Amino acid sequence: MEESRVKEVELFGTRVLSGKREEFLNEIEKRLKEKKKTFVVTMNASILLKAVEDKEYRDVINSADLIVPDGSGVVWAMRSLTGDHTERLPGIEIMKYLCDRSRETGWRVYLLGSKEEIVKKAADSLKRSGVNVVGYHHGFFREEESERVVRDINERSIDLLFVGMGVPRQEKWIHRNFPQLNVRLAMGVGGSIDVISGKKKRAPEWIQKINLEWLYRFFQSPVSKRKVPLQVLKFVFLVLREKLKNRNRRLF
């Protein structure tokens, strides 16, 4: 494994990693091997917008040990505002990589999120491929039930905890319970559990390569929840406004 050369870049008050995909994975695996308890956030435009609008959520994001650029929008923002030409690494690819590595390392995996039947299908699918999934729980529980969920996780000696409860709930839940969780890594994975279960499909590779995976997910979502175009416009406006501010500061 090559030595990691990632660096942190400030983006709208958050600390996002800049580097190559392999370097991000190396950094995560290095921390796992050194048994450093790690909270990973995969930053996309939706998360960044919420962090800009909500200081409490921004503090939650910044409490993470590693903030990896997930979406093409974040990569564009970093290039436009800081000059960094980072690569992106979607959360589902981190999850799949770590699950693949767990076959060799013996890391124990727990899935938390989605509906009961879906998370069970995802767990069964991973088990069939040789991943050591030792527990799972649906994501539709009340906050007062969190203590019971944490206890279930801790009783199973988990290494990798993947939480798919949507933004911002998954990051807030990890942050709030992280001190009590006896895990080596906790990470919000959004809809990845649905994809692994087969309920949803990931965009074809050619769509991923032209950075339109977000649009593919938009058309997969129910009509009542299609808010992505508005978010895209807000995000573009936010970045362009900040770029103009930076230019004016240099002039004066």
User: Residue 209: its pLDDT value, please?
Assistant: 67
Query: In tens digits, what is the pLDDT along the chain, a chain of 252 residues?
Result: 455 579 999 999 999 999 999 999 999 999 999 999 999 999 999 999 999 999 999 999 999 999 999 989 999 999 999 999 999 999 999 999 999 999 999 999 999 999 999 999 999 999 999 999 999 999 999 999 999 999 999 999 999 999 999 999 999 999 999 999 999 999 999 999 999 999 876 556 766 666 556 555 555 565 545 556 778 889 999 999 999 988 876 655
| 21 in a structural domain | yes
Give the global pTM: 0.90
Residue 40 lies in a domain: yes
The CATH number of residue 110's host domain is 3.40.50
Which H helix or E strand runs over 14?
A: strand 14-18
* Contact in structure between 184 and 209 (CB atoms under 8 Å): no
User: Do residues 11 and 75 make contact, with C-beta atoms less than 8 angstroms apart?
Assistant: no
Cα angle: 17, vertex 188, 18; to 5 degrees? 10
- Residue at 72 is within a domain: yes
* 189 is a domain residue: yes
- Of 214, 217, 244, nearest to 49 by C-alpha is 214
Asked whether residue 230 is assigned to any structural domain, the reply reads no
E strand or H helix at 169, and its extent? helix 169-177
With the CA atoms of 224, 75, 44 and 48 taken in that order, what torsion angle do they form, in degrees rounded to the nearest 10? Answer: -100
pLDDT at 101: 98
- The boundaries of the domain holding residue 138 are 7-197
Residue 235 counted as domain residue: no
C-alpha 22/C-alpha 1 separation (Å) is 9
pLDDT at position 207: 66
Does a structural domain hold residue 245?
A: no
Number of structural domains, the chain?
Answer: 1
Which residue, 116, 80, 94, is CA-closest to 24? 94
247 in any annotated domain: no
